Every structure is written in C-alpha cells, then in structure tokens.
Structure 1
Amino acid sequence: MAKEKKLPKENRHLKRFYYTVDQAVEKPFNWQQMWRLLGYLKPYSKTYLPGAMIAMLVSTAVRLLVPILIGKVAIDVAIANEDPTMLTYLVIGIGILYLISYVGNVYRIKWVNILGQNVIYDIRQHLFSHVQRLSHRFFDSRSAGSILVRIMNDINSLQELFTNGIINLLMDVVTLTGMIVILVALSPKLALAVMIILPIMFYISTKLRRSIRRSWQDVRIQQSRLNSHLNESIQGVRITQSFSQEKENEAFFEGINTDSFESWRVATKKSAMFRPFVEMSNAIGTIILIAYGSHLILLGEANGGIEIGTFVTFAFYLGMFWEPISRLGQMYNQLLMAMSSSERIFEFLDEQPNVKEKEDSIELTNMKGRIEFDRVQFSYDNDRIALHEISLDIKQGQNIALVGHTGSGKSTISNLISRFYDPTEGTVKIDGHDLRDVKLDSLRQQISVVLQDTFIFSGTIMENIRFGQPDASDEAVIEAAKVVGADEFIQRLAYGYETEVEERGNILSAGERQLLSFARALLADPRILILDEATASIDTETEMKIQEALQRLLKGRTAIIIAHRLSTIRESDNIYVLENGKVLENGSHDELMKQEGEYFDLVKSQFQMLDAI
C-alpha cells in the first residue's frame, strides 16, 4: 500500500499560489466537444482513415467467420459426416483467412499510427499558433509552465486516442454487434442467457463515469502546477542558491509533487476498477454458458435445444466477447482522459485576444511616426488605474523621454503604443490612425522595443541580431553590430558571430545582451523606437560608448526613452514627468530644471546619490 504523503505543515499555505488559474471544470460529458476533437481527422478522411477502416473490417470479418466454420461446419457437418476432405479444405481455408487477417492488421496498425501522429502534429501546431496570437493579458494571469503543460502533456495524452483508440473502438463495436447478431441467430435463448449481464455492466460503468472523469481532470491540473513550479525553480535557481533556500524549495516541491502523486494514484485506482469488473462478468457468462448450454445440448435440437457445434461456436464467441468489452472499458477511461485534456486545450483555443483586429483594418504602410494620446485612461484590472486621462502629442522624428517613479505609468504608455493592450478610455493614434483600426503586424513591424531584461534566444549571435529582420544579409548584421558597439566583444568570442548562445544568452553578460538587443533593433529599421530602461544593465563605460551609437539609432526615428538614469535623456526634445499615471510636467531638460519642480528633485536626488558614492 502506498505510503500517505503530506505537504509539510510550514509550506501548506504556499499552495494557494499555484491554485489560482487551473481549476477543475465540472461539466457533463460533452459529445459536441468530442466531435470537435474528431474534426481534426477531416484532412485525412480520404487517405489514411478509410484505408485503416477497410483493413479493420477485413480482419474483423475473419475473426467473426472462423468460429462459425469451426463449430457449425467442421463439427456439425464435416466431423458428424466423417468427411476428411471437407476438413482438409476447411483447415486450408482457415489458414488463408488468418493470413488475410494478418495482412489487414499490419496495414491497420501502420495507417492508424500515421493518422494519429499527423493529427497530434496538427493539434499542437494549431494550439501553439493560437497562443502566440493571444494578448498580453492572457500571459499576465498564467505561468509559462501551465501553458507548456497544455501544449505538451495534454496533447500527448490524446495520442493513444488517435493512434489506436478510434479504430479500435470501431473494431470492437463491429465485433460485438456481429457476434450478438450471430449468437441470436444460432440460439436466441442461449444468447439472451449469456448476455443478461450486459445491462448490469452498463449501469455500473455509467455510475463510475463522473468520478473517473473528474479524477483524470485533476491529474492534468496537478501536472500543470508541478510544471509551473519546476519552470520557476529552474529559472530562479540562482536566487534560490544566493539566499540558501534550497531546503525550503525542496519542501515546497515535495508538497506539489505529493499532490501530483496522489491525483495519479486516485485516478488509476478508480480506472483499475473497470477491468476486474469485466473479468468477473466474463466468469459469470462462462458459468451460464456451461450450465444452460449443457442443458440445451441434452434437450436435443428437435426439442428446442442446440447441437454440440453451436455450443462450441458459443464458447469461441464468448472467449472473444469479453475481450472487446474489456477494451471498450479501457477505451472509455481513455476517452475520459482525452475529454479532460481536450477541455483544457479547447479552453485555450476558445480564448480570444483582448486586442482584436477588425476585419476591415487598414495596412499601416510608410509610417511617419507621429504619436497622439487623446485623454487615454487605462487599467490592468478594475482595482487600480495605471493611466489617468493622459494626452500626448509626439511629433514625427521627435525624441521624448518618460521619467518617474516605479509604477508611474511609463511602461504602460509604451505597451499602448505597440498595442499590446487597448486603452480603457480614450484613443491612441499613430499618423492620425486609431490603433484599433490598424493591422497589428503592419504596426508592430515598424516598432522596435528594447527592454531592460532583453531576451536572447538559443542559437547563434548572428541569428539573434537577425531575429527582427530574417532576410537581412550577414554584412547588414555585422554593420548593425558595429554601429552599436557590439562587434568588439563578438569578435572576441570563440566563433564570432556564429557562436552558439545558451538559453536566454547566459554565456553573455547583461551589458553584452543589451548591446545585442540594440543591434537587433537597428537592423529591424523601425520608424518608432522604444527604449524601456534599455541602458539600465550597461555599465558607465559601456554607456558612454553607446551614446554615440544611440545618436545614429535614433536619427530620423520617433523615439520614446524610459529611463531612471537621467543622464541618458538630457538631449531629449521633450521630457514627460509621470506620477501615479498622470503627467506632472513636461519640457526640455533645461526648461524643467528652471521650473525646479518634480524633475528638478529627481535630478538633484540622483546627483546626491552619486556624491554619496
């Protein structure tokens, strides 16, 4: 018996963090959803699917025919009439039938596996493509681990359904139907006696349905939470080690791992109840066959009984009868698992972007770069307003800066310009066009954002710089790196521009990663450039080198610079000082210094900090 596992008491309250998004969905068995899932078979309805079904029907027909040949022909005719020639032909004929069945099974297995793998590929591709198009709000409320589970684990759980389940289900249904028809035709009384257990079996399996389905749904939820914590723990391992929190993290993981273990134990325990029940039914059916069948043989065919060959045929079919029923029981559990996973997959597929593109949206070509905020208000949730009726007019080619304390609304403004979110009230325009009327790709292809925590993909240095402009030549990539001052450190790497960087660019320093992001932005040649704390990770010496590069990077482009380091924004055409989502003051550096307002205090406090150092 498995040892009972419990979450350490001091960590139990932490479970709430992982129980916020993935909650159990209590729904009845949804056949409409199952038909939707089976819709992924449609592209293969003229190729692999009919081929697999024909091969299945051939092998099934052989299985149904052989017991009749043995019982009714071999025993009741050939043996009864002592006809060795007929027996010889029967043996040869049955051998040929089994050979045909073998060939049919080979092609059935081959085609259903090809079919299943193609369907899994299509579902995973569809889900990934859809998730990539969802708005930032979707990712704000879900961890990367929980999304990963649905794209990988939940779709993998459908593999058995599509590779074997569907065709096996049809094969078992055809086999059962054929056997019932044959048994009733041979002896209605004996057939009724043997199959009397079926209604009881159906009733009990129906009662188990809800409980089994809920258990497998819980398994998926626990796997999602486990994956979320694993993803977070691996990415944050440096922080964990720096604070010596390995034991606490292990205890926390033990609790989540225990929940996953328990959910699997409960689900498999409930699912395992079905097969023994089928086997018990098989035993009862065999007892009925022997008892009642013997009685009918003794009665004789003339008195409403049966022949020995009929009894043997019933025995063959009875041995075959419970096998498909057992598989149908397993198939039902498989179906429940598939339903649980498909609910979670379709939940994501049914998720619509908060930022929607209109059907008649316009293509924003030859962007000039003028940005207008007209009384814009925005909130990430109903409890906190991030921007209060902000109005901005940023001219084409103008270089403006946003400054203010953390949470003042600077990054929110940049998010609205890229239309990662839509304003709650008011309008954001570029070149006079409301962003809600513009095609998203045409907008974002002309905007580059350089963040403080730049993301470096696995691959070469060359591929990372080329990310925003995939068709750029090697010479253009190298030139962009030279302009921003990245070429110097790249040439020192073992393989230069062909150096493979690890996940998130861990072989590079924070400053080097930031220089790559500048090169990436320059190569993309945007009309609007947003630098969101882009120089925060660069040391003072590197910053001095990059100031000249920034002049070229910003030339002819509308630029929005968000910075705490005020030395990087002195030359800005206009500086907006934000506080609690409102513009307190704006003007050039010299104008704001003369006002001796909030900006003056920010500059003064920063210089005092430098003097203290």
Structure 2
Amino acid sequence: MLVLQLVSVAASLSLPSLNADIIDRGIATGDTAYIWRVGGLMLAITVLQVCGSIGAAWCGAQVAMGFGRDVRGELFAKVGSFSAREMNTLGAPSLITRTTNDVQQVQQIVLMGATLMVAAPFMMIGGVAMALTESVRLSWLILAAVGVLAVAVALIVRKMVPGFRQMQARLDVVNRVMREHLSGVRVIRAFVREEREQQRFADANADLTAAALYTGRLMTSLFPVVMTVMNVSTVAVWWFGGHLAQDGTMQIGSVTAYMTYLVQILMSVMMATFMVMMLPRATVSAERITEVLQTAPSVTASANAVRPAALTGVVDFDQVSMTYPGADLPVLQDVSLHAEPGQTIAIIGSTGSGKSTLVSLVARLFDATAGQVLIDGVDVRHLDPEVLWGHIGIVPQRSYLFTGTIASNLRYGNPDANDADLWAALEIAQARDFVSELDGGLEAPVSQGGSNFSGGQRQRLCIARALVSRASIYLFDDSFSALDLATDQRLRAALRPWTSRSTVFLVAQRVSTIMVADEILVLDDGRVVGRGRHTDLLVTCPEYAEIVDSQLGASV
C-alpha cells in the first residue's frame, strides 16, 4: 500500500513541472514536437497515478474493514467473558454502542489514515521541495499559509474533543431509553405511559442533538478556514509571481507550477484537517473500546485450574457470604449446606432474600466474597470454568430463547443431541404436546427472545434445554412460576427419574413446588433461618410456617 501511495504522490508532483516545461519551452518556442512528447509523458504518468490511487484506496479499505472486523470480534469475545458484575457496571446499551458506533468511528479513522494520511506527509514534503525548485523567493507564502492553517485547526480541534466525548455518552443514553422502550413496550401500554416514554426519548434525543450541533458547528468552521487560506494563497501567488514574471526573474510556466505545488501543499494540509476533524471523536471511541478490552472479568480460570474428567455433583457451601459492589450489606451471610447427587435442595424466602444469588454462586456467575463454594471437594474458583459450566444445567429466572428453531435452542444444552434426545427432554418438560402441534415440530421458528411463545411455553422450553445437557447439577431459578399447578406437578413427577443421579437446586416462590424436596432452605435477609423437610419446618421455622399459611392456609 505504501508503494502504491508513493507512486501516486510522485506522479502528482511530477506533472506541474512537466506542464511548466510545455508552457516555457514548448509553447513559448513553438516546438510542437516537444509539446506532443512531454504531453504523452504526462498522459502516461496520469494513468500511473490513477492506478496507484485506485490500488492504494483498495488496500486501505481492506485494512480498515479487517480492523473493524477484528475489533468487533475482540469486543464480542471480551463481553462474553464478563460476569454479571461487569455487565451491570458497563451496561448493555453502552456495550452495544461501543461494539457498533464506536468501532465504526475508529474504523473510519483507520480508513482515512490508510488512504489520506499516508499520502499527505509525502505530498506536503515533496510539494515544498518542488516549489522551492521553481522559486525560493516565494517560499514565505508557503510558511504563512501553512502556519495560519495549522494554528486555526489546532484551536478548533481543542474544543472538539470534550464535545465528542459528551456526544458518545449521550448516544449511550438514547440507546438505553430505546432498549428499555422496546423491552417494556407491554408494560408501557398497560399503564398508558406512551406520552411519558415519548418525552423521555425526546429529552435524550434533544440532548444528543445539542451535542451533535455543537461539534458539527466546530467541524463546519474548518472548511471556510481552509478554503479562505487556499484562495488567499492562490491570489498571493499570482500577484507576487506575476511581478516576478514581469521583472523577468521567473517564467510564466514556473509561476503556474508554483501555484499548483502550493495548492497541493494546502490540499495535503486539508487532508490532514479531515483526519483531524475525525480524530477527536475516534479518540473518544477508542478510549471507550479500550475500557471494555481492559476490563478484567471477575470470574476467571485460576492459573492452576483443575480439569476433572467428570463431576459427580457434590456441592458444599462453607460459611459463604456475598456482597455486591457498592452495596452496604451482604446479600448472603454465612450460608453453609451440603448437597449430593439424587438430592433436591429447595430454596424459598421473601423477595431479595438472596435465593437467585445462592444458585448463581454454584454456577460461578459470581464469586463469593467470603467462604467457599465447593463441587466434589474443589473450590469452584479453582475449577476450569468450561468444565464447571459443562456439568451444570441452568434455567434462569427470566426465560430466554434465541432466534432460530426449537431444535437449535434445545441443542444449546448439548450440540450433539439427536432428535430423540430432544423429544425426550420435551416430554419431561411437559412441552411435547404443543411442540408437536407446531408447523415443523422441532424445526418450528423461534422469534427473538421467544416472543412467539407464551410465558409458560418459553419456560418449559428452557427447562427442556437444560435437561438435554444431562448435567450433574441442575439449577432451577424460579423456573416453574409461569406453569399452572397441574403442569407443575406433572413436570416435577417426570423430573425425578431424569435427575436421580444429579444434584438439583430449586428456587421457588410456591410452597407446592418444593413440598417434596429432600431439604428446604429458608432464607431471610441473606441468612438461613430454617432447613429441613416440609413437615419439620412447619414446626421449627416460623418464617416458613408464615409463607405456607399465606399460600395454603387451612389446607395444610
């Protein structure tokens, strides 16, 4: 690419001198043969210049597009390694903006750098050298023009950097409001809050527009400055060069060549100006991208990570506490438990008591801030995360399906599962009937987030996805809440043989879902206030008895 740029620049710099020769030697003496000969040479050089420019632009585009592809890939991989802690800190809307808009800004500056800025310095230096060969006495014009232009650009760009930083931050806000609007459109309509949401978006949009107008005005002010300097310089060359030509110290062709070289020099400065215009915003975007790439995931594999061939699923909590960053109080305090394969450990408690956090610690979606979580006697922080996650089947509190088909979603649990395995998991999850009635069956389409299914259907498909994995540990985080009582009962009955060799953690709000669990943990403000079987807890744990009474009343 550099060679192509140099060829194009050398061709551009040679043409004005050849044109001056035609004027001063060909036209002035009437030597038609000389005119044809030099004109043919100029035509050949022009063809060479065009080929060099096209080749350099093609190479520059390849470099810039490849750079953008690689950075987006790195960002995606990095975000994929984040735990929920980093996701909450950076925010999904901001991460989307950084992966798309910010990468585009940096990619554009790479493209301009590969095409314009590689040629600009050579054009400027070469133009100065060639201009001096035409006339040294007019060199002060170059110094004056370039100096004025450089000072003006520096003053304007100095104000652009904070403007672009504010612009990107406000773009994050617009994306956040839009994302919340799209995700919560049903809630918005249910509460008739369309006007409020429109006002929220209008305010965010107005703030972004104001920031964009501020930076836009600064950017547009560069063009008049550049054009003014260029036009004044051109007039000055003709004025002072004309006097030199009149005195006989400079020929007309040399004045023409000098003016062309000055224009080329100023064009190089203008190309650099275009780069400078984009540089502040690209700098801000690069800082935001770098922030993501330099964020260290809080959940990582230890240097001497243990990679057992298999995990049986024995889980121990040893005085575990968990405090979220910035929180004043721990969400879990001094939790200890022991669970073995074949056991179902149910967890119940009031909202915010730490139930979801507890099962998240088993899957190491977070790391405990005190104590140890052990699987098969090994601290989860010392297990290779890929091995750990490969032995865990999880059904999150919010049922989520990916765009594709039912089969592709179920095979997230096991890519090698055959159709028989998928139907078996659907049978256990009480989803076989409605899936078999769909056009295409397992190949029935799934919209983004599974929006073409009801809440109960999504939940059952997510349960089936976890069951396909044939995991050693199953984590059901309030995964039966959208099911009616009859379906809930059938599913749990079908689930027992399937999980007979697995350890099951079951978070639930309904007492009927956990009554037959081998052990029930009752959480209150992050502490275990009761443990045991249903009948025992009715006597020994007032908190549990209160929950049961509120749900089942006299039927217990």
* TM-score, normalization by structure 1: 0.88
Counterpart residue type for residue 350 of structure 2: H
Cα distance in 1, alignment partners of residues 119 and 458 from structure 2: 58
State which of 528, 546, 549 in structure 2 corresponds to 1:604: 549
Once the two structures are superposed, the pairs formed by residues 214-613 of structure 1 within 5 Å of their partners are: 214-300=162-248, 305-381=249-325, 382-595=327-540, 597-608=542-553
Once the two structures are superposed, the pairs formed by residues 51-130 of structure 1 within 5 Å of their partners are: 52-71=1-20, 73-130=21-78
Structure 1 residue 59 displacement after superposition: 1.5
Structure 1 residue 513 displacement after superposition: 0.9
Q: Quick one: structure 1 residues 295 and 507, their matched pair in 2 at CA, closer, same or farther if it must change by over 3 Å? A: same
What SS class does the counterpart of residue 528 from structure 2 fall into?
strand
Tell me, yes or no, if the aligned pair for 2:130 and 2:261 is still in contact at 8 Å.
no
Counterpart residue type for residue 318 of structure 1: L
Moved more, 352-361 or 232-241: 352-361
What SS class does the counterpart of residue 353 from structure 1 fall into?
coil
Counterpart residue type for residue 99 of structure 1: V
Q: Residue 82 of structure 2 corresponds to which residue in structure 1? A: 134
Aligned residue-pair number: 555
Structure 1 residue 283 displacement after superposition: 2.1
Tell me, yes or no, if the aligned pair for 2:174 and 2:205 is still in contact at 8 Å.
yes
Q: Residue 146 of structure 1 corresponds to which residue in structure 2? A: 94
Tell me, yes or no, if the aligned pair for 1:578 and 1:584 is still in contact at 8 Å.
yes
Q: Residue 174 of structure 1 corresponds to which residue in structure 2? A: 122
Counterpart residue type for residue 496 of structure 1: G
Tell me, yes or no, if the aligned pair for 1:468 and 1:520 is still in contact at 8 Å.
yes
What SS class does the counterpart of residue 453 from structure 2 fall into?
coil
Q: Residue 185 of structure 1 corresponds to which residue in structure 2? A: 133
List alignment gaps of at least 5 residues for structure 1: 1-51
Structure 1 residue 483 displacement after superposition: 2.7
What SS class does the counterpart of residue 196 from structure 1 fall into?
helix
Tell me, yes or no, if the aligned pair for 1:144 and 1:231 is still in contact at 8 Å.
no
Q: Quick one: structure 1 residues 596 and 387, their matched pair in 2 at CA, closer, same or farther if it must change by over 3 Å? A: closer
Structure 1 residue 341 displacement after superposition: 1.0
What SS class does the counterpart of residue 420 from structure 1 fall into?
coil
Structure 1 residue 424 displacement after superposition: 1.1
Per-residue CA deviation, residues 336-370 of structure 1 (Å, 9 max, x unaligned), is 22111111111111111112322221113310111
Tell me, yes or no, if the aligned pair for 2:132 and 2:139 is still in contact at 8 Å.
yes
Cα distance in 1, alignment partners of residues 226 and 179 from structure 2: 42
Cα distance in 2, alignment partners of residues 389 and 480 from structure 1: 36
Per-residue CA deviation, residues 562-598 of structure 1 (Å, 9 max, x unaligned), is 1111111122111111111111121122222232532
Q: Residue 159 of structure 1 corresponds to which residue in structure 2? A: 107
Per-residue CA deviation, residues 533-567 of structure 1 (Å, 9 max, x unaligned), is 11111112221221222213321101111111111
What is the Cα-based RMSD across aligned positions, in Å? 1.7
Structure 1 residue 106 displacement after superposition: 2.2
Tell me, yes or no, if the aligned pair for 2:409 and 2:465 is still in contact at 8 Å.
yes
Cα distance in 2, alignment partners of residues 216 and 472 from structure 1: 50
- Matched-pair identity in %: 28
Structure 1 residue 610 displacement after superposition: 7.9
Counterpart residue type for residue 279 of structure 2: L
Per-residue CA deviation, residues 148-199 of structure 1 (Å, 9 max, x unaligned), is 1111111122232233333211111111110011112322221223431222
Q: Residue 199 of structure 1 corresponds to which residue in structure 2? A: 147
Structure 1 residue 601 displacement after superposition: 2.4
Tell me, yes or no, if the aligned pair for 1:451 and 1:532 is still in contact at 8 Å.
yes
- Give the 4+ runs in structure 1 shifted more than 6 A: none
Structure 1 residue 237 displacement after superposition: 0.6
What SS class does the counterpart of residue 415 from structure 2 fall into?
coil
Tell me, yes or no, if the aligned pair for 1:113 and 1:164 is still in contact at 8 Å.
no
Tell me, yes or no, if the aligned pair for 1:157 and 1:338 is still in contact at 8 Å.
yes
Structure 1 residue 473 displacement after superposition: 1.6
Structure 1 residue 530 displacement after superposition: 0.8
Tell me, yes or no, if the aligned pair for 1:362 and 1:438 is still in contact at 8 Å.
yes
Structure 1 residue 609 displacement after superposition: 8.9
Per-residue CA deviation, residues 258-305 of structure 1 (Å, 9 max, x unaligned), is 1111111111101111111111111221232122212222333xxxx3
Cα distance in 2, alignment partners of residues 574 and 363 from structure 1: 30
